[in-house]
Structure 1
Amino acid sequence: MVSSENEPAVEEIAQGFAAMGSEARLQVVLTLVRAGTDGLTIGDIQSRTGMPASTLAHHLKFLTSAGLIEQEKQGRAVINRPCFPRLETLAGYILKQCCADLDGEPGD
């Protein structure tokens, strides 16, 4: 499916949701969203999720490559933040479809 100039392609949206398709990755994203724009270190995420370090590293790499989180090195620490514009695009795409096939309803 081809996207309009301002709307992402359905394939791009599907890839974003697929990246959150595991319970562990969704847990990481939600943990970072709850933390807000300040982000969290890998150690903070690990303590909040209880995820083993190697598992967490794998999921962080996956989420970063999908554009759902951003990482910034600050000294020896790596700060992880949710990519709010990307997450808003995903949520907005779903919500924009609300009632689109009903006359006079939101999404018209």
Structure 2
Amino acid sequence: MEIEKLAKALKELGHPTRLTIFKRLIKAGYQGLPVGDIQEELKIPGSTLSHHISSLVSAGLIAQRREGRTLFCVVEYGQLQAVVSFFQDECCIDMAPK
């Protein structure tokens, strides 16, 4: 993963509301959650939620899909794995026997 993309993802996850949204979407799994359900759970105005969702989408962390009149948010699990792998792949590399 490019360092710039990782930095953007981590920046967006650095906000408590966005981290809460992302964590809730991870729990929801591959089907995601309707935006209205997220708003109801977090009890925040729609415009505020829209701003946070837009930030997560721009970082590639979530995607949106429409089913009829309902807009769903779904985690981009490949991107999540890339963020996690970035750190895991570097773990203890300097400690390897030579």
Q: Same fold (TM over 0.5)?
A: yes
Query: Residue 75 of structure 2 aligns to which amino acid in structure 1?
Result: P
Contact 1:31 1:48 in 2 (8 A): no
- Give the whole-Å Cα distance in 2 for the aligned partners of 1:48 and 1:92: 30
Question: What SS does the aligned partner of 2:28 have?
Answer: helix
> What residue number does 1:64 align with?
57
> What residue number does 1:79 align with?
72
Q: Which has the higher contact order (CA 8 A, sep 6+)?
A: 2
2:49 maps to 1:29: no
Structure 1: segments with no counterpart, 5+ residues: 1-7
> What residue number does 2:6 align with?
13
**TM-score, length of structure 1 as denominator length:** 0.84
Moved more, 9-18 or 86-95: 9-18
Contact 2:33 2:73 in 1 (8 A): yes
Structure 2: segments with no counterpart, 5+ residues: none
2:30 maps to 1:40: no
Moved more, 66-75 or 43-52: 43-52
Seq. identity, %: 34
Aligned Cα RMSD in Å?
Answer: 1.5
Query: Residue 47 of structure 2 aligns to which amino acid in structure 1?
Result: S
Runs of 4 or more, structure 1, over 4 Å off, are none
Higher helix share: 2
